[in-house]
Structure 1
Amino acid sequence: MNSEEKKVSYQTTNSYSTLNQLTDKTKNVWLVFHGIGYLSRYFIRLFENMNKEENYFIAPQAPSKYYKGEDYRRVGSSWLTKENTTAETENVLRYVDAIVENEKILKQTNFIVLGYSQGVSIASRWIASRKIKCNAYIMISGGFPKELHKEDFDFLTHTTKITHIVGAEDPYFEIEKVEAEKERVKQILPQIQFKTHPGGHELNLESIKAIL
């Protein structure tokens, strides 16, 4: 058997979702990354109760889609797997770059990056590789990429508000592992604050509002 794996580059198109309008009254622009199993148009609805005049949300769409369940009716998506991760990561990051360029975000607004669950890995890598000086970075119920180090975030100032939120009843996070992860991430992002909410593996809007 003479099998060989090759690579080819090509142009592709992907969607993304927005919520509210970007105007001169907008105070906060949010770039929000969903977790595994979501589609961006459903994930972005979780932010509908935020002030519509002050907040504009942009939700990128993970490129890999699949059917959820055996009835083949509901569709979910995933950002990355362990297969060909390096190349796939760069593809995703270039896609995020294209979104930000297309949106022409107003410079006078606060720029907030939020990653939920698997979205934390994409948001963290994008901030680190593109040296994104956001006003705030919120991580929710997600693991921080193992390959990132303190020097990857040296460009951030002490004024960048960084928060990790996890549900007290989150079944995916054992307390011992959470404490160990806290210590590791604290070494990388010294200004990070750790918060909890009373729920499980979910995005809790009240805990997000309390940060701002």
Structure 2
Amino acid sequence: MNSVEKEISYKTTNSYSTLNALTEKAKNVWFVCHGMSYLSRYFLKYFKELHPEENYIIAPQAQSKYYIQPDFKHVGASWLTKENTLKETENVMRYFDTVFNAENIPEDKNLIVLGYSQGVSVAMRYVASRQLQCNRLVLMSGGIPKELKADDFKFLKNTKVTMIYGTKDEYLNQKRMQYETERVNELFANNVTIIPFDGKHIVNVELINNLV
């Protein structure tokens, strides 16, 4: 039996979620990429303590949705897997393009790109591939894509890069965090603020609030 895997292209539709309003009073626009098993509308809860008039939050939604164990009643989503990663990454990048086009963010706003857990990989890939000028890049409790190099981020000007992780993170042991720390310093020429906190694999709301 000859098995052949073929490829097609088609138009699809996806959602994304926002919090607060993009008005003249808004100072910061956040583009926040959730981790695995999240939905964008629930990920927004971690940003509700930010000043509502000054902060507008955009949360894109990972396309691949599935039922979560153990009862399979709740739905989560995933950005990428090891299966067909390059093509799936292109799909995510084009989806992000569409979100940015739809939002039409004014140039006078501070753009903050934040990735949490699995969201770190897609956030970094998007900044690199589109040469997205952002005021701050926040990498929280996630891994840096292996293919990214220092040259991919040389275009950034005056961008504050922050890495945040929990010292008791059940997915990032000490050896892994040492590796990720070396990688982030390599990519951004040591111009990185690294903030460890006493905690597990969680979204640290207190540290998010302190970013602005």
TM-score (norm 1): 0.97
1:210 deviates by 2.5
* Post-superposition CA distance 1:137-193 (Å, at most 9, x none): 001000000000001111012x20000000122111111221122112211112111
- In the TM superposition, what are the counterparts of 1:1-212 in structure 2 within 5 Å? 1-157=1-157, 159-190=158-189, 191-212=191-212
Deviates more, 1:188-197 or 1:58-67: 188-197
1:46 deviates by 1.3
Aligned-partner residue type, residue 176 of structure 1: K
Separation in 2, partners of 1:69, 1:7 = 31
Aligned-partner residue type, residue 78 of structure 1: S
1:70 deviates by 4.3
Aligned-partner residue type, residue 184 of structure 1: R
Separation in 2, partners of 1:97, 1:136 = 19
Separation in 2, partners of 1:150, 1:72 = 41
Separation in 1, partners of 2:87, 2:173 = 31
Separation in 2, partners of 1:71, 1:186 = 41
CA contact (8 A) 2:47 2:208 kept: no
1:209 deviates by 2.6
4+ residue runs of structure 1 moved beyond 6 angstroms? none
Aligned-partner residue type, residue 199 of structure 2: G
- Residue segments in structure 1 that go unaligned for 5+ positions in a row: none
Separation in 2, partners of 1:114, 1:210 = 14
SS in 2 for 1:129: helix
* Post-superposition CA distance 1:60-115 (Å, at most 9, x none): 00000000124331001000000000000000000000000000112111000000
Aligned-partner residue type, residue 2 of structure 1: N
Aligned length: 211
Separation in 1, partners of 2:14, 2:25 = 29
Separation in 2, partners of 1:82, 1:47 = 30
Separation in 1, partners of 2:89, 2:27 = 30
TM-score (norm 2): 0.97
Aligned-partner residue type, residue 188 of structure 2: L
Identity %: 53
Aligned-partner residue type, residue 29 of structure 2: V
Indicate the RMSD between aligned Cα atoms, in angstroms. 0.9
